[in-house]
Amino acid sequence: MCGIVGYTGPKEAYPVIIKGLKRLEYRGYDSTGVALQDGALKVYKKKGKVAELEDAIVGKDLHGHTGIGHTRWATHGEPSDANAHPHQSSSGKLAMIHNGIIENYVQLKQELINKGYQFKSETDTEVLLNFIEEIKKNNHCSLEEAVRVALKRVTGAYVILLLDADEPETIIAARKGSPLVIGIGKGEHFLGSDASPMLEYTKEVVYVNDYELAIVKPDELILKNLGNEKITPYVQKLDIELAAIEKGGYEHFMLKEIFEQPHTIYDCLRGRLDTAGGTIIMSGIQQYADQVMKANRIVMIACGTSWHAGLVAEYIFEELCRINVEVEYASEFRYRNPVINPGDVIIAISQSGETADTLVAIENAKAQGAIILGVVNVVGSSIARVSHGGAYTHAGPEIGVASTKAFTAQLAVLTMIALKIAHDKGTIDRDRYMHLLNELSEVPNKVETVLKSKDKIKKLAEKYKDARDFLYLGRGYNFPVALEGALKLKEISYIHAEGYPAAEMKHGPIALVDEHLPVVVVATKDAYHQKVVSNIQEIKARKGKVIAVISEGDTDTAAICDDVLIVPEADEIVAPMLSVVPLQLLAYYIGVAKGFDVDKPRNLAKSVTVE
């Protein structure tokens, strides 16, 4: 959460930083700010999105070749001009931006207050900055040295970028627990929370590790650990094109990402799934296939939409591999002293690869001897690096805050892993295995078919947009799809929505059903179909409005529903990749119909790097 950008080099820094901040706005948009070096430090900041800052500083002096910028997701202190970053130190000579939380800031703040410091904001960031300034003053040392000393006292997570009026071309950066990428140009360097701000200038990047500090000048990048020892930067080549992070003619990133799914699922299967040869090749899994086959238990750890993917995978792994699976919210798992036994395999699922709870949960499990496999979208991210092995989802950058294409790509990867293990373990017969490989390979085309109903879904959105609550129901493989549909609607339309297992409805939520309640039922043809149809009858008997996701040709179910969303028939193992798509579109169009910024829903951030 929070997006950070830095630039030092021959270009004017401000346009590079503002463009970079717009690319990182998915990480938070409570306030925006920039600091520029131009003889003296100039700081401009404002509550609101990047565009609001731009409007507010038209006509100001924005020159400078070194600068930093920040887009905030508030933790300490409400969104306001005063709490916006960059913060300036008491002397005015240092400016700093921060992503993360300084947990012991209250104690540090008290120490500084005792020394006479006063604070302009409520943020932990301003405390850390003045703590650094105090060390610099007392020790008569460089900013770099002061940062090193300060960080040894700090608990919590951070990426910080600092400017010092006395070192006009230098940016000091440090990270622990939040992401930081440095792009290497010709006589210039770029810094960012991810690589998107630098993509059009360079493909050469360094991912900074925890407890590393970077001294960044136009033509020099020095990396050190907190013990002041130099580290050789590991330069990697980015494999992303600029088009992947632009809207490409779509009104929103979310819509673009929904429509990318036929390609992203295909990209995910490509080179791994060989239907003719009957093989699945996943090099990052192969090495650990034995441990997975022998595992007593697989624990899926994730948050949000990725957790829903884990729930679908639970059904698939138990069915195909006959291995006991548990699905855990990372935030609960990390704090409850879970029992990790030898032979346990953890699968961490994360789009960003930076979710703080998931990261810490797998670090803890790894320390206790578990094998960690990551199913991650962002290449080189922290979760990918902490994992022993795993598989990337290859969905490309997902910018819309509501996750869509990452979910279906996660399902594709998890299904391939389950099929591979089941095949190697002998828990699936050849015919079923070959059938499922074919079913999987047909998913991209079938998703393409679902997307053709977008106009119909848009009309439905108009019809239901004013509902106060929604209920989403599904059973078996489609129960997590119901949860995901409800989450999408909540996130971008702010309508209260609950996802429930269809059969559980009669144990409570049925009390909500009346003629005003739209109930979205995922009722595709699978082993539970008749049971779900009975649940639909129960809702209709109480005058509820039923919008059902049904399989093509299922006229009987269509006849008892108010509205239907049709998906092609598919094996129940791959069906969630299809049935979720109309729910993504329904949420999207309702959000748009209500006039909300669906790419940047209120209070949310794309990458949750605080706990």
Encoded one letter per residue, x for contact with ligand M6R by CB under 6 A and - for no contact, window 590-609 reads --------------x--xx-
Residue 492 binding ligand M6R, by CB under 6 A: no
Q: Tell me which stretch binds ligand M6R (CB under 6 A): 253-261, 279-287, 333-341, 401-409.
A: 401-409
Residue 403 binding ligand M6R, by CB under 6 A: yes
Residues 304-343 binding ligand M6R (CB under 6 A) are: 304-306
Q: What minimum distance in Å lies between the beta carbon of 434 and ligand M6R?
A: 32
Among 402, 523, 547, 587, indicate the residue that binds ligand M6R (CB under 6 A).
402
The token pair that represents 194 in the structure block: 């991810």
Strand segments, DSSP code E, in 218-340 are 220-225, 230-231, 235-237, 273-274, 279-280, 297-302, 324-329
Q: Tell me which stretch binds ligand M6R (CB under 6 A): 72-80, 87-95, 299-307, 445-453.
A: 299-307
Residue 258 binding ligand M6R, by CB under 6 A: no
Q: What minimum distance in Å lies between the beta carbon of 308 and ligand M6R?
A: 8
Cβ 280 vs Cβ 274: under 8 Å: yes
The amino acid at residue 140 is: H
Among 160, 401, 411, 460, indicate the residue that binds ligand M6R (CB under 6 A).
401
Displacement of CA 188 from its chain's centroid (Å): 29
Q: What minimum distance in Å lies between the beta carbon of 68 and ligand M6R?
A: 25
Residue 408 binding ligand M6R, by CB under 6 A: no
Residue 352 binding ligand M6R, by CB under 6 A: yes
- Angstrom distance (rounded) from CA 371 to CA 352: 20
For the stretch 322-356, what's the b/e string if a residue is b when 16 or more beta carbons lie within 10 angstroms of its beta carbon?
Answer: ebebebbbbbebbeeebebeeebbbbbbbbbbbbb
- Angstrom distance (rounded) from CA 190 to CA 176: 19
Q: Tell me which stretch binds ligand M6R (CB under 6 A): 109-117, 301-309, 318-326, 494-502.
A: 301-309
Residue 358 binding ligand M6R, by CB under 6 A: yes
Q: What are phi and psi of 339, to 5 degrees?
A: -85, 120
- Angstrom distance (rounded) from CA 243 to CA 258: 16
Q: Which of 405, 420, 490, 606 is the catalytic position?
A: 606
SS3 77: coil
Among 350, 415, 493, 551, indicate the residue that binds ligand M6R (CB under 6 A).
350
Encoded one letter per residue, x for contact with ligand M6R by CB under 6 A and - for no contact, window 443-482 reads ----------------------------------------
Residue 386 binding ligand M6R, by CB under 6 A: no
- Angstrom distance (rounded) from CA 116 to CA 133: 13
Radius of gyration of the chain (CA): 25
488 assigned to active site: no
A 10 A CB-CB count for 72 gives: 29
- Angstrom distance (rounded) from CA 191 to CA 170: 12
Residue 355 binding ligand M6R, by CB under 6 A: yes
**Pick from 132, 17, 11: nearest CA to 71:** 17
Displacement of CA 8 from its chain's centroid (Å): 28
Q: Tell me which stretch binds ligand M6R (CB under 6 A): 280-288, 297-305, 470-478, 517-525.
A: 297-305
Q: Among all chains, which residue has been given the structure tokens 């731009």? A: 54
463 assigned to active site: no
Nearer to ligand M6R, 77 or 601 (CB): 601
Residues 6+ apart with CB under 8 A from 306: 349, 350, 351, 355, 358, 403, 406, 407, 410
Nearer to ligand M6R, 1 or 199 (CB): 1
Residues 40-79 binding ligand M6R (CB under 6 A) are: none
Q: Tell me which stretch binds ligand M6R (CB under 6 A): 48-56, 207-215, 344-352, 441-449.
A: 344-352
Q: What minimum distance in Å lies between the beta carbon of 569 and ligand M6R?
A: 27
Nearer to ligand M6R, 593 or 604 (CB): 604
Q: Tell me which stretch binds ligand M6R (CB under 6 A): 150-158, 348-356, 421-429, 444-452.
A: 348-356
Residues 6+ apart with CB under 8 A from 321: 293, 418, 421, 422, 425, 427
DSSP secondary structure of 126-185? HHHHHHHHHHHHHHT--HHHHHHHHHHH--EEEEEEEEETTEEEEEEEEEEBS--EEEE-
Among 144, 257, 491, 563, indicate the residue that binds ligand M6R (CB under 6 A).
491
Q: What minimum distance in Å lies between the beta carbon of 382 and ligand M6R?
A: 10
Q: What minimum distance in Å lies between the beta carbon of 608 and ligand M6R?
A: 5
- Angstrom distance (rounded) from CA 271 to CA 128: 48
Q: Tell me which stretch binds ligand M6R (CB under 6 A): 170-178, 314-322, 346-354, 582-590.
A: 346-354
Residue 497 binding ligand M6R, by CB under 6 A: no
Residue 125 binding ligand M6R, by CB under 6 A: no
Q: Tell me which stretch binds ligand M6R (CB under 6 A): 349-357, 421-429, 437-445, 576-584.
A: 349-357
Q: Which of 2, 268, 303, 561 is the catalytic position?
A: 2
- Angle in degrees, 0-180, between the axes of helices 575-593 and 430-451, rounded to the nearest 10: 20
Please give the size of the binding site for ligand M6R, defined by CB under 6 A.
16
Q: Sheet containing 235-237: give its strands across.
A: 40-47, 31-38, 66-72, 3-8, 189-192, 181-184, 204-207, 235-237
- Angstrom distance (rounded) from CA 102 to CA 125: 7
Residue 303 binding ligand M6R, by CB under 6 A: yes
Nearest residue relative to ligand M6R (C-beta):
304
- Angstrom distance (rounded) from CA 290 to CA 298: 13
The helix/strand count (H/E) of the chain reads as 20, 27
Among 89, 170, 351, 415, indicate the residue that binds ligand M6R (CB under 6 A).
351
Q: What minimum distance in Å lies between the beta carbon of 2 and ligand M6R?
A: 15
Cα dihedral value 417, 419, 422, 425, nearest 10: -70
Binding region for ligand M6R (CB under 6 A): 303-306, 350-352, 355, 358, 401-403, 491, 604, 607-608
Q: Would you please indicate which residues are annotated as catalytic (active-site) residues?
A: 2, 606
